[in-house]
Amino acid sequence: MIPICVRCDRPTPDGYACHPCSRLAAAWLAEIADMTQAARDVAQRQARYGTGGGASGKPGSSLPIDLGATARLDAVQNQLSTWVRMIAEERGPAAEINPGASGGSTGGTGHPQADRDDLRASAEWLARHCEWMRHRPEVDEFLTDVEACARVIRGIARGPAAQRYLGPCGADRNAEFAEGLADMPRCEGDVYGPQGGQRGTCRTCGAQVDQAKRRAWLDDQVRDKAFRAAHIADAYRINVNTIRSWALERPEKRAENGVVIQQARPAKLQAHDYDLLGRPRYLLGDVFDLAAEAAARRAENEAKRAVRETAEMGA
């Protein structure tokens, strides 16, 4: 059986991730390097987006920097630096691959030095090690982190968060959110909302909707649709390995003396059908339910941990 890519399900006989995913990570890192200065300009309030103007000039009217953007840039730098250290320590002298390719200098271990912007230098250095990383079991986490860092840099440099499609409007003048989306004379415009925001706005009539309610409605419309694990993961930000683990059946294990050391566990997620290449597809509704159960367990465990920590502090 040929192994498949941890991110996209492509056959990958020579690594944990495929060549296209490795090249995509390199492209994300190149984008980070290219947009770092623009992001820093925004953080320093040297560049502005939207209709906002500059400070009024009165004392205390505006901070000289955007502390929120600065904190996010620092978080990206820390994330990339962690991977730089890991790769350099693992590869040793071999980590210094084509050190002058990006125009920056590197030390004997291949680390980017601080004579340039650390964030940009780290991104350029990591881009040269994506091929090596795809052979590492940590590559799924690496790809996830790099993609997240690219989104952060892109968001700071380009301004407000990307708009997310929230379905057709279907509203009338007196309805915030209409159930009969196909009924006339409902508005036939499209609703979009900023990623992570609370409200969405119709671009035709200006009606606003609650993003959480609208997302729940959209999810309900596709619960009976089946897709591959990788496609569900990309669309709904659910870890693809988590989805695949739900579909695995765990056999019973016994010690040499016959004692059961692992109980058998049936798969939580069953394949609905298979695509033309024989790859399983799962109902979105089943995945949504399992994801909700997992989120509820995490919340319960976090609440219990908070109670224990409070009790320990008071003891």
In terms of Cα–Cα distance, which of 121, 129, 77 is closest to 98? 129
Which tens digits make up the pLDDT trace of 210-260? Answer: 988 998 888 888 899 999 998 898 888 888 999 999 999 888 888 888 887
Which tens digits make up the pLDDT trace of 38-55? Answer: 888 888 765 444 333 343
Q: What is the pLDDT of residue 162?
A: 63
Which tens digits make up the pLDDT trace of 116-171? Answer: 578 999 999 999 999 999 999 999 999 999 999 998 998 888 766 567 788 888 77
Q: What is the pLDDT of residue 182?
A: 42
At 107, which amino acid appears? G
Which pLDDT band holds residue 58 (cuts at 50, 70, 90)?
very low
Query: For the residues of 174-197, what is the DSSP string, one character each?
Result: T-SS-S-TTSTTS---EEEEETT-
Give the contacts of 122 (CB within 8 A, at least 6 positions apart): 77, 80, 81, 84, 112
Do residues 235 and 204 lie in contact, with contact meaning Cβ atoms separated by under 8 Å?
no
Domain layout of the chain by residue ranges = 19-48+66-158, 163-221, 226-314
